[in-house]
Amino acid sequence: MPESPLSQLLETTDFAWQRPAAAPGALTNIQWRADRCDTGSILFFQRFDDGKTDLEIYERYLARCPCAVLITNRMLHCFDRMPLKGIHVTRPSDWAEVIGRFCDLLYPLRPDLKFVGITGTNGKTTTLKYLESILAAQGQRVLSIGTLGVFRNGERLVETGFTSPPLIELRRLLRDQQDDCDLVIMEVSSHALDQGRVHGIPFSNAGWTNFTQDHLDYHRDETAYFNAKARIMDLIQAGGRLYCASPAVAERLSALGMAQAPVELVAPAEVGSAAIAAKPFLALEHNRANYALASSLADRLLGESASAYWRHLEAVDGRFECRVFGNRTLVVDFAHTPDALEAILSAIRAGFPEARVLTLFGCGGDRDQSKRPLMGAAVARHSDQVIITSDNPRTEAPEAIIADILPGIPEQIREVVVERPAAIARLFDLLAERPAEEPWVALIAGKGHERYIDQGGRKTHYSDQDEVARNAERLGWR
């Protein structure tokens, strides 16, 4: 029986170490998740420095995996427990390249398909959705991939659970959808760039929104975080450019010699009162910056400029979602970093100068602890009252996370309500206690589009929007 193309590619790939299978069978597919494997699978398993031992990794993911071949990015002290499997170890620097070759075999990209990548700490999703709306209005068939899921022509196809899916998942998606789209726009996270999840994706152009502290639990320090994001420059094709909404990012790329492609600085868009009346989210400066970035990328793709792109914009799920009840304006937003909270609260203060501000927020568990008091301080600078609550505590105790937040907030303006539904009920009760003629803006921050609470290793359904609707009905607010 002739060898399968996968077997041939495996044999001709140069590995740092390998132990071929004792009784090789037919190889039929590649996977990145152990629970999706069968006896014809090659499992690409990427090992991270996550504090787990190799034995823990083996028992959790590999012990019951039926794959025929295991490919890893480093040696593991459990290979002797898998005597019948073929095992291959790449050089760490070759990991993404090796996966890319197997993806090229099974999921080749259409050569004329255009790609645009968008990176940055905050604003990726909003910029992507703005660009998607603009391009769709100009008759383009658009596939978008990001935090909110995978969309084709504005219709959600699937939620991947990732801002940027792993490379095998991404290439499989592209293989399935590429004949039904003209271009692909993607959010590109620092994790994806560091882990090679977008390896080989030929971006015709890219956008960079901003850069502030985040993800230091993974990247360890700010320099490594910036350098990971800067890898998007390596993926921009000849003749393409990076559009950047942050002068500091553009200057830093140039100073460090990382600007392999031209970098074009984009200023926040100037929009008139008619635009803001029709699209209230454009009252926020950071949304005008996101809009300017999306417009520049659209001009580059379409080869023309339209001054009224804003007419095609739609509010983005969980990004400055507003409900107004008389003099009470409720805002649900995904802001979950010190910079994002600073930006949205500054915008609220500027846009509602007569209003008092009540902010409800928390911090995620198992993430960068150093940003917790910074988030508290950002909220305290712009809020008259603050409710600190839970937000995806994961494996940490919510009370411990809240204790890390408290040093940033004066005691006289804060209160703690650990359970998030109870905290939102308390927010409504505080607003209801105030005179009806007194204007208030209440920001419910941190979850935005997320419809779950992640706690103790389980995700249970939860929605800030549902809680707002429930409490408005409870109080008879219309």
Q: What are the residue ranges spanned by the domains of the chain?
A: 5-105, 109-312, 321-474
Evaluated on CA atoms 405, 465, 323, 478, the torsion sign reads: negative
Of the pLDDT bands very low, low, confident and very high (cuts 50, 70, 90), residue 1 is very low
pLDDT of 295 reads 95
CATH number of 321-474: 3.90.190.20
411 has pLDDT over 50: yes
User: Between vectors from CA 389 to CA 221 and to CA 469, what angle results, nearest 5°?
Assistant: 120
Where is pLDDT greater, at 339 or 29? 29
Average pLDDT over residues 307-313: 87
Instruction: Please state, in angstroms and rounded to a whole number, the distance separating the CA atoms of residues 264 and 244.
Output: 6
Placement of tokens 């005597």 in the chain: 83
pLDDT of 214 reads 59
Three-state secondary-structure class, residue 33: coil
- Percent of the chain at pLDDT exceeding 90: 79
81 has pLDDT over 80: yes
423 has pLDDT over 90: yes
pLDDT of 215 reads 54
Fold entry, domain 109-312: UDP-N-acetylmuramoyl-L-alanine:D-glutamate ligase (3.40.1190)
Contacts 24+ apart (CB under 8 A), 259-264: 259/233, 260/233, 260/234, 260/236, 261/206, 261/233, 261/236, 264/296
Average pLDDT over residues 469-475: 97
Task: Indicate the burial class of 161 (C-beta count within 10 angstroms; 0-12, 13-18, 19 or more).
Answer: exposed
Instruction: Please state, in angstroms and rounded to a whole number, the distance separating the CA atoms of residues 280 and 300.
Output: 26
Instruction: Please state, in angstroms and rounded to a whole number, the distance separating the CA atoms of residues 30 and 331.
Output: 44
- Assess contact for 344 and 379: CB atoms under 8 A: no
Question: Which range is least confidently modeled, 138-147, 283-292, 466-475?
Answer: 283-292
Q: Which CATH architecture has domain 5-105?
A: 3-Layer(aba) Sandwich (3.40)
Per-residue pLDDT reduced to its tens digit, 246-300 = 999 999 998 888 778 899 999 999 998 888 888 888 888 889 999 999 999 999 9
Task: Say whether 321-474 and 109-312 share the same fold.
Answer: no
Q: Are strands 458-461 and 452-455 parallel, antiparallel or unpaired?
A: antiparallel
pLDDT of 307 reads 67
Instruction: Please state, in angstroms and rounded to a whole number, the distance separating the CA atoms of residues 417 and 399.
Output: 10
Q: Are strands 203-208 and 183-187 parallel, antiparallel or unpaired?
A: unpaired
DSSP E strands in 236-389: the ranges are 242-244, 263-265, 321-325, 328-333, 356-361, 385-388
Name every residue whose Cβ is closer than 8 Å to that of residue 300 and which is 6 or more positions away in sequence: 204, 205, 241, 243
Single pTM value for the model = 0.84
pLDDT of 37 reads 97
DSSP E strands in 38-158: the ranges are 41-45, 69-72, 86-89, 114-119, 142-146, 149-152, 155-158
219 has pLDDT over 70: no
One-letter amino acid of 56: E
